[in-house]
Structure 1
Amino acid sequence: MRWPIRSRCGCHTDGQGPARFVAAHVDQGLPPCGERVIVRFMTTSDKPDNENAATGIAAQDWATAAADPQYRAAVVDLLGALAYGELAAFERLAEDAKLAPTLEDKAELAKMASAEFHHFERLRGRLTEIGEEPTRAMEPFVAALDGFHRQTAPSDWLEGLVKAYVGDSIASDFYREVAVRLDADTRALVLAVLDDTGHAGFAVDRVRAAIDADPRVGGRLALWARRLMGEALSQSQRVVADRDALSTMLVGGVADGFDLAEVGRMFSRITEAHTKRMAALGLAA
């Protein structure tokens, strides 16, 4: 079913729900890149432009903000998605450790997997603390996230490293952008569980060493990274489109959401950060 949506700036679209609305207008705020910009947005800067602006819900604590049932539902969805994402990251890193070429590499990935599980425990604990059942909060996101991981299963050690570095960074950057508009308590938790587990430096070191040893590896991994972006975007759109509370948050219904101009700037920051990460890996964006 298609239905019109009015943005905060008064514009209309015939998208299929709020998430479609956001996706349909992203490319208006970004420069052309020779391919669909919407597939290239998926990363963000470390510090959004309005990171220090604490107004509206962002200036409230959880007890005050949660009085709005729509906001509460959006936060439960957000924490549920993050929690299952962390649990899936733990499982993926544990599997990737089996592909590690050395015992040192295996130990490093095991350490990172442990950190991801600790993040999951914090999110699960927070959901319980606010009176929500963690499994129920995570269940709506299982199919989409599991589908993404099935479709992007790495064929070797290096693809696994690039997937964790690029894919996790895309998700983390987006959540950081959203966190700016959350209440102070939820924002602090979200930012804490998005802390780098050490995978970034580890992945950059190993991937660059592999490219130095065999430059042909770079082309293959660059194509792999582009595929990851497209798959991750597709899955994230499905997740948001299926969850009314999250969709409404993104387009300004709750938590001082994004207007069209902000969406464009956000995705510009995401693109810039992704380009820098690809360069750090020695890959072409």
Structure 2
Amino acid sequence: MTESQAGDTPVSRAREAELALADPAYREAVVDLLGVLSYGEISAFERLAEDAKLAPTLEDKVAIAQMAAGELGRVERLHGRLRELGADPFVAMAPFGAAIDQFHEHTAPSDWYEGLVKAFVGDGLADDFYREIAAYLDAGTRELVLSSLEEGPHAAFVVDRVRAAIARDHRLGGRLALWGRRLMGEALIQAQSVAAEREALSALLAGGVDRPGLDLAALGRMFARLTERHTERMSELGLDA
């Protein structure tokens, strides 16, 4: 789908969505995307709630709990849209459990700081991938997806805690830099697995007669953007990518 033009109205956007969703393959892709986002939010909530146990102070524990609550708070809007499309949210989420759970199993943090870096870098990589997919959606669905991926105010909390810890112990910075590289590799594997295993999402990226898709060159540029944004996030934390 092309980007909405400045003169678009709610009526024209609704018509755009109606026409797009009349295509069964496109509708299936939207259901898949909303399903994986929903499961990802729930999984992030569970993981952050678990990470709160590692918090060194009560203030840190509360901050992580608030981050977890923010993840869970986005789920209802995604589920509401799935129901509007006539889909069962829990059926839509089910196919993505294995890939996302495997990512979290492979990247279980060993301490508080690895958990913080994962919350900022690992989740950020996955979100960036879904933002790339959102470019191929109708305007209304795209806005819902992008709003569910917005970074909350607690990102600054993570940056502050990690930078302060590195300033106290420079050896920690080297360990966390290696951890960030591992997260990058695992997140890309997860993203590729999700796209490859779901034909509807692959078809969405491939394009169609009414919209452009990603050829090999464009796919390469997409992964270059993901890598660049990862590098920026690592830099924000004071780490080398």
Q: Within 2, Cα distance between the matches of 1:284 and 1:204?
A: 14
* TM-score normalised by structure 1 residue count: 0.77
2:218 is matched with 262
- Which residue of structure 2 lines up, in the alignment, with residue 271 of structure 1? 227
Paired with 1:230 and 1:214, the residues of 2 have a C-alpha distance of: 26
Matched, 1:125 2:80: yes
Instruction: Give the C-alpha shift of residue 267 in structure 1.
Output: 2.2
Note closer, same or farther for the CA distance 1:220–1:137 as it changes in structure 2 (3 Å cut).
Answer: same
Percent same amino acid among aligned pairs?
Answer: 63
CA distance in 1, matches of 2:125, 2:229: 9
Unaligned runs of 5+ in 1: 1-49
Point out the more displaced range, 66-75 or 251-260.
Answer: 251-260
The match for 1:19 is none
How much has 1:51 moved relative to structure 2? 8.6
Decide whether aligned partners of structure 1 residues 236 and 267 sit closer, same or farther in structure 2, where only a CA change above 3 A counts. Answer: closer
Q: How much has 1:174 moved relative to structure 2?
A: 1.4
Q: Tell me if the contact between 2:29 and 2:200 (Cα under 8 Å) persists in the aligned partners.
A: yes
**Alignment of 1:234 onto 2:192:** no
RMSD of Structure 2 on Structure 1 (CA): 2.0
Letter in 2 for 1:220: R
The answer to whether the 8 A contact 1:76-1:137 is kept is yes
Unaligned runs of 5+ in 2: 6-12
Aligned 8 A contact 2:136 2:205 in 1? no
What is the TM-score when the length of structure 2 is the normalising length?
A: 0.91
Q: Which AA in structure 2 matches 1:113?
A: A
Q: 1:273 to 1:235 in 2, by over 3 A?
A: closer
**Which amino acid letter does the alignment assign opposite residue 270 of structure 1?**
L
1:151 aligns with 2:106: yes
Deviations 1:149-181 (A, max 9, x none): 111110100000001111111111111121122
SS of the residue 2:86 aligns to: coil
Residues of 2 paired with 1:281 and 1:128: CA distance?
39
Residue 29 of structure 2 corresponds to 74
1:278 & 1:169 partners in 2: Cα distance?
A: 11
User: Highest relative contact order (Cα 8 Å, sep 6+), 1 or 2?
Assistant: 1
Could you list the runs of 4 or more consecutive aligned residues of structure 1 that deviate by over 6 angstroms after TM superposition? none
1:172 aligns with 2:127: yes
**How many residues in Structure 1 have an aligned counterpart in Structure 2?**
233
Superposed, which structure 2 residues align to 1:1-285 within 5 Å? 52=3, 61-253=16-208, 256-285=212-241
Deviation at 1:256, TM superposition (A): 3.3
CA positional deviation for 1:199: 3.5
| Bigger proportion of residues as helix | 2
Give the aligned residue type for 2:66: K
Q: How far apart are 1:52 and its partner, in Å?
A: 4.9
